[in-house]
Amino acid sequence: MSASPSSTYPSTADIGYAAWLKHFAVKLPAYAEQYGLTPQELTDLQQLSTQFTTWLIECTHQATELKQGKVAAAIPNKRSLLDHAVVLVRRIRAHPAYTAAQGSLLGFATAPQLKTCYPAPPTLRIAIPTDRGQAPMLTWLPYRGATLQVEVCRDGRTWQPLPLLAPKAYQDAHQQPSVATPWHYRARYSWPDWPAGQWGPVVTTWVGLAASPASY
């Protein structure tokens, strides 16, 4: 069975990756010495960018010919070129001199594969207070390489960030109301130079006088 035009036209993702590769290849030489990159490695990246863009053009021509009913030559898949660029990105991010600001300038937030390697949203747990007026204790499962962003809603309308100091637990010592009130919490994993993950499920606990046990 011959390929259809729709299956051979470059995808939106492929076009975006081509733009990122070109940007990466242009910006990286300014940081080559800092990351210990050789002139050959920079040349190889330039060639990767050119080859990937050329492949996209060839795919477009092939799809156009198929749409016109012509016999189109088979084109090898060149998406594996992106894997080589991703290896370089990971190497740079692991370098002691790497900073999130540089990652932003190099366009790492739109690099292929890396931005989608997020874990499932975190699940917060609330330790049920044993005494009225005791500060709620939040616990969660850490994820390697990520920090946790936690927000609290105390008025039923506005979410506010909590300044976490511990990697696995947090005691919310905010002044409690005089009447029983629900406090809501939510969390997500975050990386210094990548978009944050999705918010996990909201958990709720009642605080103040006559407070009831936490709910999930």
Domains and CATH numbers, the chain: 5-115 (no CATH), 125-207 (2.60.40.10)
Q: How far apart are CA 111 and CA 44, in angstroms?
A: 17
pLDDT recorded at residue 91: 86
- As a whole number, mean pLDDT of residues 116-133 equals 72
Maximum distance among all alpha carbons in the chain? 79
pTM: 0.52
What is d(CA 3, CA 74) in angstroms, rounded to the nearest whole number?
9
158-193 pLDDT per residue, tens: 999 999 888 889 999 899 888 889 999 999 988 766
Task: Please calculate the CA angle 110-64-22 and round it to the nearest 5 degrees.
Answer: 25
Backbone angles phi, psi at 125, to 5 degrees: -125, 145
Nearest in space to 2 (alpha carbons), one of 77, 70, 61: 70
Question: How far apart (Å, rounded) are the C-alpha atoms in residues 42 and 22?
Answer: 12
| Rounded average pLDDT over 101-123 | 77
Helix axes 80-93, 39-67, angle to 10 degrees: 150
Q: What residue spans of 28-137 are helical by DSSP H?
A: 32-35, 39-67, 80-93, 100-105
Q: Rounded mean pLDDT of 56-74?
A: 80
